[in-house]
Structure 1
């Protein structure tokens, strides 16, 4: 699936964009903090993956690396990744805008945006599931081609997921909540189709590993 620094970067961007704009606890907090305290606070929340993902990524890569000599284990892990991607894809395709937007009433307490963002991301099972079943296998494929390729994948993912959430914060500040817009709905459908394609590739790779 990854054959060069370019394909590693493209994969990182694709998954970073999907993770960045798919509704979840962190994105909801980005919108809530933006509406309550302004875009600066929403952007602070968007930086949370840079602070929380490093230990998750390292642990996932080490655990997956330890199973590198066991085709059955890696195959099963890759198929679990395909199931996770299918779940995300169907979630995007069936997604409907929420009935209520986050409240824009300011609170008496300070924003605490970075702390809230870090807690929201650490306590969210999504990053753990992604890196254990999808991100780590792709990171190891990249590492097999060299450290620059791995840096391309991880750098593109991190830059894109943060940029996407910052984009949502800025759009929210300029035009109100974006989750109910037609453009956002179409983007979610497109991401769903893209994730279906990646899920199919993971099924192919998983079956190949099981048969090796």
Structure 2
């Protein structure tokens, strides 16, 4: 159970602080308006991700007997996690476009940014749903803990960054943020290797 919570927390934290459309909107809303506006955008995944999760779980459970498909999905998931790890390791600082900061944002804009981003779909189809469906066969409660820990860290980290950005605009260019991203990148590499291994086992 602890390992599932750790994996969910790790993936959620990494996704939460990684630069992307939603995080940029969280920061721009915070800088343009206030911390409360940034927090509203940070909560967007709670409003948009449920259909994605349900679809991914449906596909994952219907493919339980097709090991070669699950193996391929696991390998694709490993590639996606490796891509995220690479981005983390290469990051130097988050550069905010001044023009983007001046543009008005809203909760609807945040929802559109998240729905139109490929990351939630890629994550849940290739990483999240296989973990949940596999765990759910043994213990539904533990599978639920994975989802809760993922979103707690995903949203919590975005809220934290909104607060930090609101108090110090230079935080995203500072060493603590950069080193945290690089550390998470290293851990994600190990997790990608695990997914590659699982995929090869299913394909063999």
- Decide whether aligned partners of structure 1 residues 206 and 104 sit closer, same or farther in structure 2, where only a CA change above 3 A counts: closer
Specify the SS of the correspondent of 1:84. helix
Detail structure 1 runs of 4+ shifted over 3 Å in the superposition: 98-107
CA–CA distance in 2 between the matches of 1:95 and 1:29?
19
Displacement of 1:26 in angstroms is 0.3
Aligned to 1:10: 6
Give 2:180's match in structure 1, choosing from 187, 204, 210.
Answer: 187
CA–CA distance in 2 between the matches of 1:52 and 1:28?
17
User: Are positions 1:46 and 2:42 aligned together?
Assistant: yes
- Decide whether aligned partners of structure 1 residues 196 and 122 sit closer, same or farther in structure 2, where only a CA change above 3 A counts: same
- More helix as a share of residues: 2
| CA RMSD across the alignment | 1.6
Displacement of 1:53 in angstroms is 0.8
Any unmatched runs of 5+ in structure 2?
none
Aligned to 2:168: 175
Displacement of 1:95 in angstroms is 1.4
- Decide whether aligned partners of structure 1 residues 70 and 94 sit closer, same or farther in structure 2, where only a CA change above 3 A counts: same
Residues matched between the structures, number: 204
Any unmatched runs of 5+ in structure 1?
none
Q: Bigger shift: 98-107 or 52-61?
A: 98-107
CA contact (8 A) 2:71 2:199 kept: yes
The TM-score, its normalising length taken from structure 1, stands at 0.91
CA contact (8 A) 1:31 1:169 kept: yes
Q: Bigger shift: 159-168 or 88-97?
A: 88-97
CA contact (8 A) 1:31 1:102 kept: no
The TM-score, its normalising length taken from structure 2, stands at 0.95
User: Are positions 1:93 and 2:89 aligned together?
Assistant: yes
User: Are positions 1:153 and 2:149 aligned together?
Assistant: no
CA contact (8 A) 1:35 1:104 kept: no
- Decide whether aligned partners of structure 1 residues 142 and 105 sit closer, same or farther in structure 2, where only a CA change above 3 A counts: closer
CA contact (8 A) 1:36 1:104 kept: no
